[in-house]
Amino acid sequence: RQDQDRVANARAMTRRHHRFQQALRALFESPRQLPDHVHQDTIVCRCQDLTYAAVRAALGHNGQKTKGSIKRATRARMGRCQGRYCGPTIARMLAAETGQMIDEAASWAPRPPIKPIRIAELASLDLPDN
């Protein structure tokens, strides 16, 4: 009985977190704009300071038109907001370019933000020798 209660609580918590995530995405969704009305210097990703032109160039980078190629070429969705602002815009751009459904283009492989540190900082740590 205790296991069933824990499973039920875990499922309820998962549903709660999912609703919260959906609310965040709705709150931070970028305005929908038609490509014809967007200037080439318009910022698409605030965290990485990416322009519309840079993302468009990444769409054709080495003939690839995938979420991964855009992410690797531009670092989109790797900033502090983890793509809450630029993700929907880039997904719409990708969907329009490839003919995919936006839902297919919108899923990304999220990664936790990591703060890089200098090797000197690591070297200065007082760690026990093994």
User: Tens of pLDDT along 65-95?
Assistant: 777 778 888 888 888 887 878 888 888 888 8
Instruction: Give the closest residue to 83 by CA, choosing from 118, 55, 121, 64.
Output: 55
Per-residue pLDDT band for 13 (boundaries 50, 70, 90) equals: very high
Q: What is the pLDDT of residues 34-67, one digit of tens each?
A: 566 778 898 889 999 999 888 888 887 666 677 7
- pLDDT band per the 50, 70, 90 thresholds, residue 15: very high
Give the number of other CB atoms < 10 A from CB of residue 86.
Answer: 26
Bridge partners (DSSP) listed for residue 51: 43
The CA distance from 108 to 99, in Å, is: 17
Q: What's the CA gap between 83 and 71, in Å, rounded? A: 10
CA distances from 96 to 31, 63, 73 (A): 16, 16, 19
% of the chain beyond a pLDDT of 70: 80
Could you tell me if 67 and 110 are in contact, meaning their C-beta atoms sit under 8 angstroms apart? no
